[in-house]
Amino acid sequence: PFDWYHEMREKRPVRYDPKREVWDVFRYTDIKTLLTDDETFSIDPRNVADYDSDEDEGLETTTMIGTDPPRHDELRGIVSDAFQKRNLNGLKSGIKKATSNILEEILHDDSGVIDIANELAQPLVISTIAELLGVPADDRERFELWSRSLVTTEETNGGTGEVIRRKRRAQREIQKYLSTILDERQKNPQNDLLSRIATAEADDQVRFSHQEALGMCFLLFHASSNTTRNLLTNFVWCFATRGLWSELKHSDRLRQTAIEEALRYRSPVQATTRVATTEVTIQGETIGAGDRLMVWLGSANRDERQFDAPETFIPDRSPNHHMGFGHGSHYCLGGSLARLEADIVLSELLDTFETIELGDATLRPTQSLCSYGVESLPVHFEP
When asked if residue 325 is in the footprint of ligand HEM (CB under 6 A), the reply is yes
Q: Which is nearer to ligand HEM, 295 or 381 (CB)?
A: 295
Out of 9, 27, 76, 264, the only residue in the binding site for ligand HEM (CB under 6 A) is 76
Q: Which three-class secondary structure string do you get for the chain?
A: CHHHHHHHHHHCCEEEECCCCEEEECCHHHHHHHHHCCCCEECCHHHCCCCCHHHCCCHHHHCHHHCCCCHHHHHHHHHHHHHCHHHHHHHHHHHHHHHHHHHHHHHHCCCCEEEHHHHHHHHHHHHHHHHHHCCCHHHHHHHHHHHHHHHCCHHHHCCCHHHHHHHHHHHHHHHHHHHHHHHHHHHCCCCCHHHHHHHHHHCCCCCCCHHHHHHHHHHHHHHHHHHHHHHHHHHHHHHHHCCCHHHHHCCHHHHHHHHHHHHHHCCCCCCEEEEECCCEEECCEEECCCCEEEECHHHHCCCCCCCCCCCCCCCCCCCCCCCCCCCHHHCCCCHHHHHHHHHHHHHHHHHHCCEEEECCCCCCECCCCCCCCECCCEEEEEC
Out of 88, 193, 200, 223, the only residue in the binding site for ligand HEM (CB under 6 A) is 223
Q: Which is nearer to ligand HEM, 76 or 166 (CB)?
A: 76
Beta carbon of residue 20, minimum distance to ligand HEM (angstroms, whole number): 17
When asked if residue 330 is in the footprint of ligand HEM (CB under 6 A), the reply is yes
Stretch in the footprint of ligand HEM (CB under 6 A) among 1-9, 26-34, 177-185, 334-342 = 334-342
Q: Which is nearer to ligand HEM, 127 or 224 (CB)?
A: 224
Residue number with the shortest CB distance to ligand HEM?
A: 334
Out of 78, 182, 332, 345, the only residue in the binding site for ligand HEM (CB under 6 A) is 332
| The one-letter amino acid at 114 | I
Stretch in the footprint of ligand HEM (CB under 6 A) among 96-104, 151-159, 248-256, 323-331 = 323-331
Out of 290, 326, 359, 378, the only residue in the binding site for ligand HEM (CB under 6 A) is 326
| The one-letter amino acid at 319 | P
When asked if residue 333 is in the footprint of ligand HEM (CB under 6 A), the reply is yes
Stretch in the footprint of ligand HEM (CB under 6 A) among 89-97, 252-260, 284-292, 330-338 = 330-338
Rounded to whole angstroms, how far apart are CA atoms 137 and 144? 11
- Nearest Cα to Cα of residue 327 among 301, 353, 307, 288: 301
Q: Which is nearer to ligand HEM, 273 or 361 (CB)?
A: 273
When asked if residue 220 is in the footprint of ligand HEM (CB under 6 A), the reply is yes
Q: What angle do CA 163, 164, 165 make, to 5 degrees?
A: 90
Could you give the C-alpha distances from 376 to 15, 29, 125, 359, in angstroms and in order? 34, 34, 15, 10
When asked if residue 126 is in the footprint of ligand HEM (CB under 6 A), the reply is no
When asked if residue 27 is in the footprint of ligand HEM (CB under 6 A), the reply is no
Beta carbon of residue 228, minimum distance to ligand HEM (angstroms, whole number): 4
Q: Please say whether the beta carbons of 80 and 346 come within 8 A.
A: no
Beta carbon of residue 110, minimum distance to ligand HEM (angstroms, whole number): 32
- The region that residue 158 occupies, defined by phi over 0 for left and psi between -120 and 50 for alpha, beta otherwise, is left
Stretch in the footprint of ligand HEM (CB under 6 A) among 46-54, 90-98, 185-193, 224-232 = 224-232
Q: Which is nearer to ligand HEM, 117 or 231 (CB)?
A: 231
Beta carbon of residue 344, minimum distance to ligand HEM (angstroms, whole number): 13
**Which string of x and - marks every residue 272-301 that binds ligand HEM (by CB under 6 A)?**
x------------------------x----
Stretch in the footprint of ligand HEM (CB under 6 A) among 10-18, 97-105, 177-185, 265-273 = 265-273
Among residue numbers 29 through 68, which ones bind ligand HEM (CB under 6 A)? 43, 64-65
Out of 78, 98, 170, 219, the only residue in the binding site for ligand HEM (CB under 6 A) is 219
Stretch in the footprint of ligand HEM (CB under 6 A) among 139-147, 155-163, 305-313, 322-330 = 322-330
Q: Which is nearer to ligand HEM, 163 or 280 (CB)?
A: 280
